[in-house]
Amino acid sequence: MSGSPASRASAPLRMHACDVAPHARCATLRVALDPARPRGGRLKLRVAAVGDPQKPVLLSLTGGPGQSGVPFLRRTRSLLGALADRFDIVMLDQRGTGAAALRCPALQRAMGTSDLTVPPASAVRDCARRLGPRRAFYTTTQVVADLEALRRALGAGRMWIMGVSYGTYVAERYALAHPRNVAGLVLASVVPQTGVDATLQENLRATARVLRAACDRCRTDPARDLHLALRRGADGPAVLDALTALSIAAPDFPGVPATLHRAASGDRRRLDRLVAATRRAQVAPATVLSQGLHAATLCADSRLPAHPTHDRVWPFDAATAAHNGLMELCRHWPPTEPPRTDLNRPLPPVPALLLEGAADLSTTVSWMRQQARWTPNAEIRVVPGVGHRVLRSPAGIRAVRTFLARASHP
């Protein structure tokens, strides 16, 4: 099953050669700030493609939210290897990213690339004031409308969509809104279509499994040590942020079990250094990941329980669930209308690969299994020892290539 090349019309996008990847073509897609008012304000979104424009589109979506897409075209082409020749690979800078990033200097300094750093309330409120009423037009609902505008501008019929992290949520939402326009899905590091609970209870619980799996020769239980460290005064949200960052960059968690064991005994110096090193590594400008967009999108699409329960978050504690960075971000963000789309229904019955790293704490195996229940024909791959960057792992790359070689066969 694949998008039929015969269904492609001549593209109204004015493509020109560009240097983001060998033989790449670039263009600017103009979309409405508010898709419900197409004659209102406009946005310019950068688009790049590589491949034969007469072949089926494979739209690749990056994560965040807040990460640009066009700079990753070369990497996506490399990921697919010889299979890239079957597609016209397309990427775009989603609204509010890249050169057009939403800029909130104080919030950007506080959070950098982090999802879970606890931001100062003043920085959150300052960002909301800077963005003003337009912040309501930077949610997944508008991104889905942009993707449909892109499909039309490309003259494409059905598209293959490959999403990573937040990009999986965008892909799922697009498939729900436009089921007839999707040929197949690759969802890597999966966010479930129904959204996530901002208390992140499943992520907190997953920490015990992930730490134990990374600790083959430990004489102590790192999950128990984490719990004891929190009881002795360690900062739960900061530790969660650091461990989640490691599940992205270093999913073998080097030195972490010993660090947690010391903290459990009352010596938090190494744990404090780990947290500080994490914060330094997360420093980044809005062009890398826009925290203004991050806030506008996540606080619209996440669920903030009015009366959250924290009875099952071990090895973390209730305070971490209630005051993690996402909860604190959205607690101080102005209310945003939630998605109107009915999210509790299956995706279209197209070929779908769901891929997750077993050591991922940013998106978890349990999130992927939630999404599998809404995904007919889902193929599931859990890659041991790999974290959030599952598409950079040899096993993850093989899984994607094997799936596409079979599912997209002409």
End-to-end CA distance of the chain: 7
Indicate the pairing of strand 352-357 with strand 182-188: parallel
**CA gap 23, 262 in Å, rounded:** 53
pLDDT given for residue 4 in this prediction: 43
Pick the closest to residue 352 from 191, 190, 193, 186 (CA basis): 186
Best CA proximity match to 21, nearest among 83, 90, 117: 90
pLDDT (tens digit, 0 to 9) for every residue of the chain, 410 residues total?
444 443 444 348 999 999 999 999 999 999 999 988 888 889 999 999 999 999 999 999 999 999 999 999 999 999 999 999 999 999 999 999 999 999 999 999 999 999 999 999 999 999 999 999 999 999 999 999 999 999 999 999 999 999 999 999 999 999 999 999 999 999 999 999 999 999 999 999 999 999 999 998 888 999 999 999 999 999 999 999 999 999 999 999 999 999 999 999 999 999 999 999 999 999 999 999 999 999 999 999 988 876 656 568 999 999 999 999 999 999 999 988 776 778 899 999 999 999 999 999 999 999 999 999 999 989 999 999 999 999 999 999 999 999 999 998 77
Cα–Cα dist 376/351, whole Å = 8
Residue 326 near residue 198 (C-beta atoms within 8 A):
yes
Edge-to-edge order in the sheet of strand 24-32: 16-18, 24-32, 42-51, 88-92, 57-61, 159-164, 182-188, 352-357, 378-383
Question: Can you tell me the distance from the alpha carbon of 235 to that of 256, in angstroms, rounded to the nearest whole number?
Answer: 15
Q: Are 321 and 313 in contact (CB under 8 A)?
A: yes
To 5 degrees, how large is the angle CA 119–CA 282–CA 206? 80
- 5-102+138-195+343-407: CATH topology is Rossmann fold (3.40.50)
Q: Confirm if 35 and 145 have CB atoms less than 8 A apart.
A: yes
What's the CA dihedral at 221, 222, 227, 230 to 10 degrees?
140
Residue ranges of domains in the chain: 5-102+138-195+343-407, 201-331
Pairing state between β 182-188 and 159-164: parallel
